[in-house]
Structure formats: C-alpha cells, structure tokens
A and B are shown apart, each in its own frame.
Chain A
Amino acid sequence: MATATAPMPKAARKARERIDVRLRPEQKTEIERAAHIKGLTMTDFIIQNAVTSARQAIREYETWTLERPDAELFAAALMEPVVLGPRLTQAAKHYKKRFLPR
C-alpha cells in the first residue's frame, strides 16, 4: 500500500482525510503497473485519476452539451408556436384548484 508523503513543515501541512477502498488483487496489480508507467505513487495516481473523473462527472451533470441533431430539435421547438396539450392543461387546472386558491 502506498503511503503518504514525508511530514511537511507545520505551516504547509493541510488537513487530510483518508478513505479505505477494497479492491480485487488483479485491479491493484493493474493500478500499480499504471502508476509505475506514469512515474507516480499509487496514491497520487489514484487521487489524480479520481479527481479528474469526478470533475468530469460534475461538469457533465451541470452542463448538457447538445450535439447538432439535438440542438436543431431544441431550436426548432423554440421557434414553433407552443400549444398546451390536454394533459398539462388538466394537470395545471387540478393543481391550481388544490394548491393555489384564487
């Protein structure tokens, strides 16, 4: 198991948290090999990759990128006149009666 870096001077020492992760031996071997190839400790390799992957997941969750067919569909909908269908008309009517008196 890779260990943390050598003790830092007190001022530079930042709060650290730890997580324990269980993984299969072959997964560990593979990560070890990849970390070695990249010249990183296992800890650094795991952290760098997890953080990159986390940021990407968050970005993808917060921003939807529309490829051309989707953008065209969306833009076309924006240009068309809108008509409310029966289902949402009813839903709005019921909702107003129940939750928005007057």
Chain B
Amino acid sequence: MTPGHAPKYRFEPLGDLHDRAAFSCGVEALDRYFQGDPIRQDVSRNTANAFVLTNDGVSVAGFYTLSPISILSVDLPASLAKKLPKRPIGATLLGRMGIEKTLQGQGLGELLLTDALYKTWQASTFVSSWAVVVDAKEGARDFYVKHEFTPFATQPNRLFLLMKKINLMFA
C-alpha cells in the first residue's frame, strides 16, 4: 500500500482464502462468530450470506451477513390491515457487521452498510423484501439511526429501513 493512496477495497463473498483468524473488531462475541465456526456454518447451511471488504483478497477490513427474515404483524387495527398483510412479509436481516479495529473511524461502516443495502436492493428486484432490519447491539444503534433507520416502538434496538427508501438510493 502506497502512503497517501486509499487502498483499493472490494467486496467479496466470504471464502476460504479470507484470513478470518487475523480479524478482530474488538467486540468479543462478533470476533468469536467471525473467526470461528459459526459464520462458516451459517454460510454452508445457507442460513446467511457473508461478505467481506478486502484490498488483497486475504485480509479482512470488515464483514457483514444478510439473511432472509419474516415480519409478522399481530393485532392490526382495521385501518392498517389493508396496508399490511396478515401473513408474514419478507424482509432482510443485516445480522452482523464488524470492522477491523485498526481501521475503525474511516467510514468503513458506512461503506459496509451501503454495500449491504445495494445487494439487498438488487435481490429485492427478484424476491420481495419490504425492509432491511437490524438488531443493534449496544453502541451500534446510533450508527443506524444516523443512517436513517427507524427504531421500533417497543424494541428500540431493533430498527428498520424500508425498501422503498433504499430504492431511492440506487434506482
């Protein structure tokens, strides 16, 4: 890497070449998830897709996971029942996100989030997704609020961003 030149980052689906063991975002639970078996199991069982940000195809600057999720509304008043179906609707869960701790504070979080939104938006043109949702761990909630996510009323750590809004970013 030449000083003064931003590294040429790219996004790749998590693969065997990525050095997961060397990655640390400073949050123990996230590191355990990414360095160890859980993420591999999620990917191999197809319960989540994982993407990494890398500048050399090996070292990991950041990662995130996406998985399908259903949102079920119970006890809707008649006035809203027309807008929101009684059956579960499809959404996309931004399950985990982490940035290498030596690279934090450079806006990589926004880059990861935007890539996640872009991929979700692309996918939503094939399979319906009404929103991207996230279950923010402590400290991460502000990040999502800043990026125009709306917290739910009874569970303020769970936030959503409507697909029709994401559509405005990329359409």
Interface residues of A, Cβ cutoff 8 Å to B: 61-79, 82, 84-85, 87-89, 91-92, 94-96, 98-100
Which one of A71, A78, A79 has the greatest number of beta carbons of chain B within 10 Å? A71
Q: Which label, helix, strand, loop or mixed, suits the secondary structure of the A interface? A: helix
Q: Which label, helix, strand, loop or mixed, suits the secondary structure of the B interface? A: mixed
In the complex, which residues of chain B have a beta carbon less than 8 angstroms from the beta carbon of A75? 73, 76, 80, 83-84
Number of A-B contacts (CB under 8 A): 111
**Contact digits for B128-171, partner A, Cβ 8 Å, 1 yes 0 no:** 00110100000000000011101011110010101011001110
**Residue contact A70 to B154, C-beta cutoff 8 Å:** yes
Contact of A64 among B69, B83, B148 (CB under 8 A): B69
Interface residues of B, Cβ cutoff 8 Å to A: 10-11, 68-77, 80, 83-84, 88, 91, 110-111, 113-115, 118, 130-131, 133, 146-148, 150, 152-155, 158, 160, 162, 164-165, 168-170
In the complex, which residues of chain B have a beta carbon less than 8 angstroms from the beta carbon of A73? 150, 152-153
